[in-house]
Structure 1
Amino acid sequence: MRRLFAGLTAGAFLLVSTACGSSGGSSSKAGESSGGITTVKVGLIPIVDVAPLYLGEKKGFYEKQGLKLSPTLAAGGAAIVPGVASGQYQFGFSNVFSLMVAQSNNVPVKAISNGVASTGSQGQDFGAALVKKDSSVKTAKDLEGKKVAVNTLKNIVELSMRASVKKAGGDPDKVSYVEIPFDQMPAALDKGQVDAAMAVEPALTTIKDQGGREIASPLVDVAPDLTVAMYFTSTRYAQQNPDVVKKFRTATAESLAYANAHPDEVRQIVTTYTKVPASVLAKVTLPKWPAEANRASIEAQEKLGQEFGFFKKTPDLDTLLP
């Protein structure tokens, strides 16, 4: 059995393990140019979810706040957390559950802005559990004894996959969860390296184009209108740079609203930071980008996390959330 916090130090974008300690590491300040523009490094995942930030940068929403984004791509939120905690990044994008796991391990993180939400519709969400067309797996219960790809361990993807298995009458502990980045899931499933993949867009559509078959909508199974991810910083950076955090929050709110209102521009901007063809992106199911997080859905994640034994101690949502 892997250690509970393995997901925060694993993957292709491995970060120094000392960043996972309780000290919070360095508070590394953002760089400021002579023009008064503050450059902030942001840890992101190459998925549709983060399109609003790229759109906001393109539309000048961040520049209007005196900020310039410097994105760095990683495999998942669990890999980004230690980078933010150590000061490698000023901000990061992570699923909410990874932030809860981090906090329960004394990693000093603070969510500052909403990120992305599920559509709430079974079979029509931006995340899904998929198998090959000829697979014998019909429901999530059939995944017992099978290998399922998740982008990082002990995060919202594994949590939601467990929720779907449980809902279907199966035992989540009898499933083998394999860590594979989203963009590598289509190939891994096609080659038979795993029996199923819990993928989000655009990997979800890529798998369907390969003939993949959807068996569950795990994010929807966790809670209605699930808050999936948020933008965050370290508690130390938030305390030392409140003005920068406020500017980032303001620009991000404008970016989320713009993305919700301009789906065609969302699909186009994704081609600038992923290798997914425009023909595939035209078919992807877009998530929701609400202005505020859904507290009830985050509490549902916390309850499942406790049930599955993911926490060393109960997360303090009042401290973690904006």
Structure 2
Amino acid sequence: MRVQLRLPPAKLAATATVTAVLLAGCGGSDQDSGAPGGPEKKTIMVAGLPLADVAALHIAMDRELFAKEGLDVRVQPVQQSVQALPALAHGQVDVIGGANFVTFLQAREKGTLATRVLAEGARNAPHMMDVLVPSDSTIKEPRDLEGKKVAVNILNNIQSLTLNATLGKAGAGRPEYRQVPFPQMGSVLERGQVDAVHAAEPFVTALKRELKARTVVDGNAAPVAGLPLSGYVTTDTFIDKYPKTAAAFQRAISAAQAVAAKDRDAVEKALPGYTKIKPAEAAAIGLPDYPVTSSAAQLKRLISLMRAQKLLTKDLDPAAVLYQPAE
């Protein structure tokens, strides 16, 4: 089946350069063949975001958990998971790590790309995704955000979804959202181009350090506490073609998630290697929860919230979205 990706014109330019980099960095990986009985494809290209969400990916690499499964995993950094969609669609990227679930659930529903969740990566947790304002801002509480300009990494996605739900619970109206990549949020906040930014770690900590920004909303407030946020996403095509590889990748990530869930020191050690967070600051950042196994019930919460805000037009079966290896 030929996959056609339909992106809005504004996103085409943003993805073009990133796609070119990804294509240049991963040519020839399809030629790899695994040992008999092992993974069909040894070299796996992962488009990874510079977020705490993907700490397990780097733990798995550092501890050779992928190597134990017969995999050679290579990471190509991207700033937004949507930027890697064209490369994923064409098989030039095998997995997107830190992929926000909202984008990929929408893609699956619309038929633009048949995506599947290999593993959950991060669930919402206290202060790992906060709304920040300048220290001298007149915005003092969540209600004050109504009608204000708030930067989010991607429009109509996990940040606006969760903040809308939180403000609605507090009886407040919605803000006006502006799309700003995480690394640029500090500059637009400092210049007053937005009133607030909805940032994820490690950017929350960096903005507090560099701009003395303060938190007005903990992104883990009710009713979105513990909500699934992101994970490791591939395509049905990849799973059908390389089922043993997909299962091996899932086993390695699950083992690394178990480390991240129990050993904060391991996460703190990994963060400076792929983010701008300094070693001394890693101990202070708010980390997500790292689920060891994916949960259809938890993913259903996200799907229901998306339906309520009209980001999905119909219910999706979470069990069909989550990858389960054949016995």
**TM-score scaled by length of structure 2:** 0.83
In the TM superposition, what is the alpha-carbon distance from 1:7 to its structure 2 partner?
Answer: 10
| Aligned positions of 1:269-284 closer than 5 A | 269-284=270-285
**2:312 matches 1:315:** no
In the TM superposition, what is the alpha-carbon distance from 1:312 to its structure 2 partner?
Answer: 4.4
Aligned length: 303
2:82 alignment counterpart: 78
Give the aligned residue type for 2:154.
T
Q: Secondary structure at the match of 2:255?
A: helix
1:286 alignment counterpart: 287
Q: Secondary structure at the match of 1:221?
A: coil
| Aligned positions of 1:210-221 closer than 5 A | 210-221=211-222
Quickly say closer, same or farther: Cα 1:204–1:317, change in 2 above 3 A. Answer: same
1:46 alignment counterpart: 50
1:184 alignment counterpart: 184
**2:142 matches 1:136:** no
1:139/1:168 contact within 8 Å kept: no
State how far apart, in whole Å, the 1-side matches of 2:301 and 2:287 are. 23
Q: Secondary structure at the match of 2:222?
A: helix
2:261/2:292 contact within 8 Å kept: no
**2:118 matches 1:105:** no
5+ residue gaps, structure 1, are 18-27
Give the aligned residue type for 2:132.
L
**2:306 matches 1:305:** yes
In the TM superposition, what is the alpha-carbon distance from 1:293 to its structure 2 partner?
Answer: 2.8
2:296 alignment counterpart: 295
Quickly say closer, same or farther: Cα 1:49–1:237, change in 2 above 3 A. Answer: same
2:58/2:270 contact within 8 Å kept: yes
Quickly say closer, same or farther: Cα 1:14–1:302, change in 2 above 3 A. Answer: farther
1:252 alignment counterpart: 253
1:8/1:78 contact within 8 Å kept: no
State how far apart, in whole Å, the 2-side matches of 1:85 and 1:158 are. 26
Of 60, 81, 104 in structure 2, the residue corresponding to residue 56 of structure 1 is: 60
In the TM superposition, what is the alpha-carbon distance from 1:151 to its structure 2 partner?
Answer: 0.9
Q: Secondary structure at the match of 1:114?
A: strand
Q: Secondary structure at the match of 2:155?
A: coil
**Residue-by-residue CA offset, 1:18-44 (whole Å, 9 max, x unaligned):** xxxxxxxxxx96442799981111111
In the TM superposition, what is the alpha-carbon distance from 1:186 to its structure 2 partner?
Answer: 2.3
Q: Secondary structure at the match of 1:271?
A: helix
2:196 alignment counterpart: 196
State how far apart, in whole Å, the 1-side matches of 2:131 and 2:31 are. 41
2:258/2:290 contact within 8 Å kept: yes
1:149/1:178 contact within 8 Å kept: yes
In the TM superposition, what is the alpha-carbon distance from 1:266 to its structure 2 partner?
Answer: 1.6
State how far apart, in whole Å, the 2-side matches of 1:11 and 1:42 are. 22
Q: Secondary structure at the match of 1:136?
A: coil
Of 89, 93, 105 in structure 2, the residue corresponding to residue 89 of structure 1 is: 93
Quickly say closer, same or farther: Cα 1:117–1:148, change in 2 above 3 A. Answer: same
**Residue-by-residue CA offset, 1:64-84 (whole Å, 9 max, x unaligned):** 111111111222233334432
2:165/2:224 contact within 8 Å kept: no
Greater shift in the superposed pair: 76-85 or 149-158:
76-85
2:23 alignment counterpart: none
5+ residue gaps, structure 2, are 1-5, 20-27
1:222/1:301 contact within 8 Å kept: no
Quickly say closer, same or farther: Cα 1:6–1:171, change in 2 above 3 A. Answer: farther
Q: Secondary structure at the match of 2:178?
A: strand
Quickly say closer, same or farther: Cα 1:31–1:282, change in 2 above 3 A. Answer: farther
RMSD: 2.7
